[in-house]
Amino acid sequence: MLPPIDNVINVPLPIVCAFMAVLGAIIGSFLTVVIHRIPLEQSIVFPASTCPRCHVAIKFYDNIPIVSYLLLRGRCRACGAGISARYPAVEALTAILFAAVTWHDGLSFALAFDLAFAASMLALIFIDAEHMILPNAITYPGVIFALITRVAVPYLAGPAHFDDLPQLMSAFPSLPVWLVSLIGAAIGALAGGGSLWLMGFMWEKLRGVEAMGFGDVKMMLMVGAFLGWRLTILTILLGALSGSIAGIIVMYRRGGRNLQMMLPFGIFLGIGSIVSLLFGSRIIIWYASQFR
């Protein structure tokens, strides 16, 4: 294991969080492109962003996250067409998320991995909300990324970074840490992907309709491998809870007729995974203490 970064760079955590919030706003600006283009199977690099109405290329100085939107009062500089408030919203949300993950991790070698995970969850949430899909272009590389994290981070930041790893290491004392970590990833992926697959399967048998695409299953393979089985089960519980609450609200507003209508579950699984990443260990400790 490497020495902790804060032994080398001694910067107060609130300053690191502020810096990461700025980075988050920039990544968020990139995420708005990802959210818009990945479902359309367009390149996320070329061409540069243009105004959807007048097709004038957006100047770099008009492309500063959040700030440009406020300065331009949400209008295109060339033609005055309204710019969707979704752009600054995603940028601000990513900024807040990056600050929160940094606050949670501290200055650690694991931080970059957790930030990438949080950013991909945010992209999946917004893509599912807009297009009702969870694209393979994110979930497949996401599974590979989770496995790389599992191999590297125990050596970079220590096994205790993972919720499940310390316990697993005492169960397999003779195996190398990276292998135990991958076993944890496999158990987590099975718990996440397996339960989503089972839910879809049962729903199909009960109702005779296709409940969900395999996007949710693939998403939960990634989440399960990354977070481990306990935080993954928590993710599904939080997803089901927030999804039900949202479903009741939507049904109430629409007059409570259409039980068949579907909310994209990926949104709520994404929210659950981020809450689990940030607060999961504490929620589990609190929950366990209720039974003592």
Cα separation, 31 vs 18, in Å, equals 19
Q: Which is nearer to Zn ion, 75 or 207 (CB)?
A: 75
Q: Which is nearer to Zn ion, 53 or 59 (CB)?
A: 53
Shortest CB 90 distance to Zn ion, Å? 20
Q: Which is nearer to Zn ion, 13 or 54 (CB)?
A: 54
Shortest CB 33 distance to Zn ion, Å? 17
Amino acid identity of residue 37, one-letter, is: R
Q: Which is nearer to Zn ion, 21 or 76 (CB)?
A: 76
Is there a contact between 282 and 119 (Cβ–Cβ < 8 Å)?
Answer: no
Q: Which is nearer to Zn ion, 51 or 100 (CB)?
A: 51
Cα separation, 22 vs 40, in Å, equals 28
Shortest CB 102 distance to Zn ion, Å? 36
Give the tokens for residue 71. Answer: 């300065």
Contact residues toward Zn ion (CB under 5 A) are 51, 53-54, 76, 78-79, 81
Q: Cα-flanking dihedrals φ and ψ of residue 75, to 5°?
A: -130, 150
With CA atoms as reference, report the closest residue to 270 among 167, 158, 125.
125
Shortest CB 69 distance to Zn ion, Å? 14
Q: Which residues pair with 50 in a beta bridge?
A: 57
With CA atoms as reference, report the closest residue to 115 among 127, 100, 135.
100
Kindly give the residue spans of alpha helices, DSSP state H, lying in the chain: 5-8, 13-37, 67-71, 86-105, 111-131, 136-157, 165-171, 177-207, 215-227, 229-253, 265-289
Shortest CB 49 distance to Zn ion, Å? 11
Shortest CB 53 distance to Zn ion, Å? 5
Q: Which is nearer to Zn ion, 79 or 249 (CB)?
A: 79
